[in-house]
Amino acid sequence: MSMLKEADFYYGAILSTLLNHNICPALIEGGTDRQVYDFTTDHKDFRLFVKYRSAPVTKTKDYNSWQFVFSDSDIQELKNYMALDLELSVGLVCGQEPLHQSEYAVLHKDIVEKIFAEGKESITISRKKGEKAFRISVGGGRNNALLVKANALY
């Protein structure tokens, strides 16, 4: 019998969501820390680098935040993809209990470039209940955060 890993649930949820929207993947590289997929749609081809966190680092009634740490090899890999001029997105699976309340944020290439230009090796992403966007801290509090639409798929 094959045992499922925790990562399988999070990466599988993203794949299921994208497949349900007729977006077909091809796995490029995989591991427990991250997965990399190439996708083809009627509109464009793109590469998706996915990481997950199973629980928020801050959880209140109206606010959650998750921190995603990128290893030196993750950062170099992403920089290599950006240098290839690929359509690149970073998918962040923001897990929480119960699992159906987990969220998914997509950071496009321009946001990822801004974060790495700041010398950051981690991304803290948050969302207040009822907000239509995630906020990514780049210093200076929530008012200076980068905004990312909460309903993007890729």
Task: For residue 129, give the CATH number of its domain.
Answer: 3.40.1350.10
Per the model's pLDDT, the better-predicted residue between 113 and 40 turns out to be 113
Domain housing 16 = 6-149
Judge if pTM exceeds 0.95. no
Q: Is residue 76 part of a domain?
A: yes
The CA-based diameter of the chain, rounded to the nearest angstrom, is 50
| Percentage above 70 pLDDT, the chain | 95
Q: Is residue 1 part of a domain?
A: no
> Across residues 5-27, what is the average pLDDT?
85
Q: Is residue 129 part of a domain?
A: yes
Strands (E), 31-128: 35-40, 45-53, 58-59, 63-69, 88-94, 103-108, 122-128
Can you read off the two tokens belonging to residue 8?
């399988």
> Across residues 103-127, what is the average pLDDT?
92
Q: Is residue 24 part of a domain?
A: yes
Q: Is residue 154 part of a domain?
A: no
> Across residues 114-141, what is the average pLDDT?
89
pLDDT in tens, 31-63: 666 788 888 777 778 899 999 999 999 999 999
Q: Is residue 84 part of a domain?
A: yes
Query: Is pLDDT above 90 for 133?
Result: yes
pLDDT in tens, 71-110: 999 999 999 999 987 789 999 999 999 888 899 999 999 9
Q: Is residue 49 part of a domain?
A: yes
Q: Count of domains in the chain?
A: 1
